[in-house]
Amino acid sequence: MRSEMKWVLNTMPESGDAQLKIMGCANVAAARAFHESFPQYAVTPCTSLTRMAGHLGVSSLHVKDESHRFGLNAFKVLGGSFAMARYIAGQTGRSLAECTYGYLTGPELVHDFGQTTFFTATDGNHGRGVAWAARQLGQKAVVHMPKGTTKSRFDNIAALGADVTIEELNYDDCVRLAASEAAETEHGVVVQDTAWEGYEEIPAWIMQGYGTMASEAAEQLAADGIDAPTHVLVQAGVGSLAGAVVGYLAHRYADAVPRFIVMETAAADCLYRGACAGDGSMRAVAGDLATIMAGLACGEPNIISWDILRNHADAFVSCPDWMSALGMRMLAAPLTGDPAITSGESGAIGMGVLATIMTDPAYAQLKDSLAFDENSKVLLFSTEGDTDPGRYREIVWGGAWTSPAATL
């Protein structure tokens, strides 16, 4: 039985939109200025796939390629590093502008701040970013990973000096474990890229850190002669990335707001389920959350992001694993003349979704509802490279998950 992409247009009632201001242009500019103080900082590519755009029947197609970010092969470090800097600024009484890379890695920080243990849960990339930032700043990191985590993802974090474990828990329960341990540890702080009632400040900072990526992409599109994209496809786990991208671009392109399509793995499609219910309330997905899209295997939404998305997303889609595998192969072996992009399981879903919408008659209604046509200017975010090299080769070289009916 073919596993299909499921979709729903956003008909939820609007809220007061109180969270949108978190992703205001000034807040994102401050995050980007912080990141620019790092010697490792460089703007990641926003690659134009001209021939692929023509093949799919759109005007332009750009892919923001985060495999180049800080040498960590994924975008997540943008959020964790900025949140840690904001936390340290508050604890030391310094302004954010003073908390540059030079200060945070220098002897003054030890005198002013001492040492903290940062706790987090991760499917891979967020924990790697937190561990990297903690090591740069001379801090400690404890990282809990859910069952089913591959050895390569574990090793990537352990190599950065973090205390890392794989638990017999799913992602959301690992979040609860990290929060509990942080609360019981002297100078313990949880740095998590989701938000719940009573834990909102640090997740908001993490989202602002993600805004650096969206800010770069907007500038790169402008340099390519695109004043504003017409369609932005962005993936979601808890929704922090999606809320950050949608929130910032809604500000940036206020006079020509793009259509926003939020994509999830079918194994953890909590945002899609909330949108299907249509009442504006969040829904959760429990269980093992088994999917090749490890970075999206999160069953409980970020309450900040949910509020942004319910007000500004145009559609939510729930995606089977074969669509991610399709996107990976399309980006790895593009049409002649387009550059190849190494995109991992959670990074390539946008390519798979776009190709499916544009070429499969079964989704003609979705295509028409979102006004995809030859004038569309599309932006995708490839949020990770081959962060699990073995699985990447298994999919791209070996053809795993080619069949729509394939299962884990």
Active site residues: 76, 123
* 57 close to 45: Cβ distance less than 8 angstroms: no
Residues 85/88/93/95 CA torsion (nearest 10 deg): 0
* 80 close to 120: Cβ distance less than 8 angstroms: yes
Identify the burial level of 41 via C-beta atoms within 10 angstroms of its C-beta, where 0-12 means exposed, 13-18 middle and 19 or more buried: middle
Token couple for 192: 């998590």
CA distance 261 to 276: 14
Beta-strand ranges (E) seen in 34-183 are 46-48, 60-65, 117-121, 140-145, 163-166
* 291 close to 269: Cβ distance less than 8 angstroms: no
**Residues 6 or more apart in contact with residue 4 via CB below 8 angstroms:** 320, 362, 404
φ/ψ region of 147 (left if φ > 0, alpha if ψ in -120 to 50, else beta) reads: beta
CA distance 193 to 200: 10
User: C-alpha 88: how far from its chain's center?
Assistant: 24
* Runs of H (alpha helix) within 224-302: 240-252, 270-277
